[in-house]
Amino acid sequence: MNTKIKWSISAILIAFFGWYFLIKQSDYIISFKAKAATGTISQGIQEWATNQNKAGKELATVLEKKGYEFLQLELSRGNHKIDYNCEIISLNDSISQVNIGVKELGHSLYNRITAPFIDTPFKKEQIAKVTDFKNGLDQHLKAFKVKIEGEGASKSEFVAYITLTSIMSEKAQKMIASDNIITGYLQKNSIKIIGHPYVEITNWDRDKETLTFNYCFPVSKNATQVADPNVKFKVIPAMKGLKATYYGNFRTSDRAWFALLDYAKRNDIELENKVLENFLANPFNGGNELEWETKIIIPFASK
């Protein structure tokens, strides 16, 4: 082997070890694929962290969040802290790749040396944690189905509505808690509901995961509009956008929103931070949740 080749190999090795020990963010990376949208996985990771807190096992803190593609968590027990850098990549309409980089503060060098070769307690614990999360995610994914229909349009609808705000995970609870306000008003004033209810998301803050939305019931345009501090009337305009059908409990209908966002990103389609949902089943009738159907459209961004 001549001197030039030796120096080249040495330079490559020095560069690799410099990156591995000094630049690389994680001690160990665990990867898996899931049949879910990036947003569904991102929310699942946050819910898993919340459950860790509730169980009193560890203190879980979200340090950074970039859309639905990246999350940085810190789990701590006393002075023992571990960072998790979670990268979520949409591969196609149904599959996402999840890469979780793990770094144990204070023991990083030892973990980087041993992790590729030895099943240390650190390595076993991290694999067990990610496996626990993955098993929970797989169970959750059995509870709903999303069918992306591509570009389409909704029809205009005249509705009575109330305006509500909530975090995303509590949208359905807020609707249920407020149901008597609008249905009671309609009954009291003898206004007949003539279609399936809608939720019109008028503002979706994806970073804070908060919503402002109208909970709507279709009624006749000729209905007597008795003044009320909560109930208003309007026309939901027809809109063009990306459509999907969601089958499952209305509490998690945002799983279809996430699927549409991933579809739009892969196809370079700009969407509004708004959503229109039309619930075609009545949850109060019970039955198989996988047969509860919701039509969803996210409108194209205005040009």
Q: What is the pLDDT of residue 1?
A: 54
Token pair 């000094």 is found at: 22
* Helices 38-55/254-266 angle, 10° precision: 140
Looking at the predicted structure, is the pLDDT value of residue 236 above 80?
yes
CB atoms within 10 A of CB 277: 22
pLDDT in tens, 174-222: 999 999 999 999 999 999 999 999 999 999 998 889 999 999 999 999 9
Among 299, 175, 165, 183, smallest CA distance to 237 is for: 299
Q: How many residues does the chain have?
A: 303
pLDDT > 90: what percent of the chain?
62
Strand pairing partners for 204? Answer: 211
The pTM of this model reads 0.86
pLDDT in tens, 152-176: 999 999 999 999 999 998 999 999 9
As given in the structure block, the two tokens for residue 19 are 């990156």
- Dump strand ranges (E) for the chain: 28-34, 59-66, 70-77, 80-90, 96-104, 144-153, 157-167, 198-205, 210-218, 232-236, 240-248, 275-279, 293-299
In degrees and rounded to multiples of 5, residue 212 shows phi and psi of -115, 130
pLDDT in tens, 71-90: 999 888 878 888 999 999 99
Q: What is the pLDDT of residue 142?
A: 93
Q: What is the 3-state secondary structure (H, E, C) of 16-55?
A: HHHHHHHHCCCCEEEEEEECCCHHHHHHHHHHHHHHHHHH
H/E segment holding residue 16: helix 3-18
As given in the structure block, the two tokens for residue 254 are 């945002």
Which positions ≥6 away from 110 have C-beta within 8 Å? none
Q: How confident is the model at residue 3 (pLDDT cuts 50, 70, 90)?
A: low
Looking at the predicted structure, is the pLDDT value of residue 25 above 70?
no
As given in the structure block, the two tokens for residue 157 are 């609808």
pLDDT in tens, 92-142: 888 999 999 888 877 666 667 776 777 888 889 889 989 988 999 999 999
pLDDT in tens, 269-301: 999 999 999 999 877 677 789 999 999 999 999
Q: What is the pLDDT of residue 23?
A: 40
Q: What is the mean pLDDT of the chain?
A: 87
CB atoms within 10 A of CB 173: 12
CB atoms within 10 A of CB 235: 10
